[in-house]
């Protein structure tokens, strides 16, 4: 596991056959600390002014998604956000987790422990390789329960 300062994004990008442009490296560094779920607009705001426009950000995001470096998620508020995804156990980008989302305040809690365990037989029987899963839970958080 690496953190933002030790992850060598230039090597990760090259390993994946992507050109390690400064904007791509900056985007990945932006998404790497702890749990970051950012929309294209939020990335645009977070980057230094004039570094990249939305189209450039979106294209980089798409190239990351194509190689499985990041995934898009929509957690009930209609906004597509992106986050780093694990690629392999050895990858510095490894981060498998689940989300626990409040339907009222849209707060996202990270569930670090995988709650699925073994891949169910009904899925294994389909014969797919490189199986992965995504699972998000939605509910009303304790704070919002008290407020209602």
141 sits near Zn ion (criterion: CB under 5 A) = yes
Binding mask 46-85 for Zn ion (x = CB under 5 A): -------------------------------------x--
105 sits near Zn ion (criterion: CB under 5 A) = yes
Q: Looking at beta carbons only, is 21 or 39 nearer to Zn ion?
A: 39
Pick from 74, 83, 89, 79: which is nearest to 136 by CA? 74
Residue 66, φ and ψ in degrees, nearest 5: -60, -35
100 sits near Zn ion (criterion: CB under 5 A) = no
Mark out the alpha helices in the chain (DSSP H runs). 9-15, 22-31, 40-46, 54-66, 121-124, 142-147
Minimum distance, C-beta of residue 18 to Zn ion, in the bound complex (Å): 22
The count of other CB atoms within 10 Å of the CB of residue 100 is 16
* Structure token digits, residue 34: 């702890």
Q: Looking at beta carbons only, is 51 or 98 nearer to Zn ion?
A: 98
Size, binding site for Zn ion by CB under 5 A: 8
Minimum distance, C-beta of residue 132 to Zn ion, in the bound complex (Å): 9
* Chain mean position to CA 85: 5
CA distance 95 to 133: 12
Give contact residues for Zn ion (rule: CB under 5 A).
83, 102, 104-105, 114, 116, 141, 144
């Amino acid at each position: 596991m690496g953190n933002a300062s030790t992850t060598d994004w230039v090597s990760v990008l090259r390993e994946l056959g992507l050109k390690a442009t400064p904007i791509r490296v900056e985007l990945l560094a932006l998404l790497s600390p702890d749990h970051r779920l950012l929309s294209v607009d939020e990335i645009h705001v977070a980057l230094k002014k004039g570094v990249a426009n939305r189209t450039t950000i979106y294209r980089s995001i798409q190239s990351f998604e194509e190689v499985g470096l990041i995934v898009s998620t929509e957690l009930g508020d209609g906004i597509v956000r992106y986050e780093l995804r694990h690629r392999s156990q050895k990858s510095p980008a490894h981060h498998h987790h689940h989300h626990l989302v409040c339907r009222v305040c849209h707060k996202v809690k990270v569930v670090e422990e995988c709650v699925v365990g073994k891949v169910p037989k009904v899925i294994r029987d389909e014969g797919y390789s490189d199986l992965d899963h995504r699972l998000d839970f939605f509910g009303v958080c304790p704070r919002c329960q008290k407020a209602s």
